[in-house]
Amino acid sequence: MLVIGIIYCHCNFHLALSYNYHAWYIAAIMCTSLAAPTMGYISFDPDTTSPYNYQTTATYGCAVGYGLFGGDTIRQCESGSDSTGRWTGTPQICEGTYLIYMYAVAV
């Protein structure tokens, strides 16, 4: 399937126009769900459920005592090479951060 172009509208999503086997197709550009990292979460803007609209942003976060490592903190749903959507960047992981507490004891 060859994507001919993207139809822009004021409707919070974009449509891909494609031509295949002598027929035209129009499909909404949507991204599939992302897996939250172990001991972490993902918040979406706008706050919706999967599938996610074009230009939805995904922001990674971690539980207390864990920090983000290895990927992009913010990812965005964009148009892929065909009429589907894809997320920019790479996923994050949450790793434990070690806190050392020192206590002073009065004698």
Tens-digit pLDDT profile for residues 51-62: 888 889 999 999
Residue 22 has what pLDDT?
58
- How many structural domains is the chain composed of? 1
Q: What is the dihedral sign for C-alpha 22, 7, 43, 70?
A: positive
CATH of the domain at 74: 2.10.70.10
**Domain that residue 68 falls in:** 30-96
The predicted model scores a pTM of 0.67
- Say if residue 8's pLDDT is above 90: no
CB 31 within 8 A of CB 85: yes
For residue 58, being part of any structural domain is answered with yes
For residue 10, being part of any structural domain is answered with no
For residue 85, being part of any structural domain is answered with yes
For residue 7, being part of any structural domain is answered with no
Mean pLDDT to the nearest integer, 44-71? 91
Q: What is the dihedral sign for C-alpha 90, 33, 6, 1?
A: positive
For residue 105, being part of any structural domain is answered with no
Written as six digits, the tokens of 52 are 């996610």
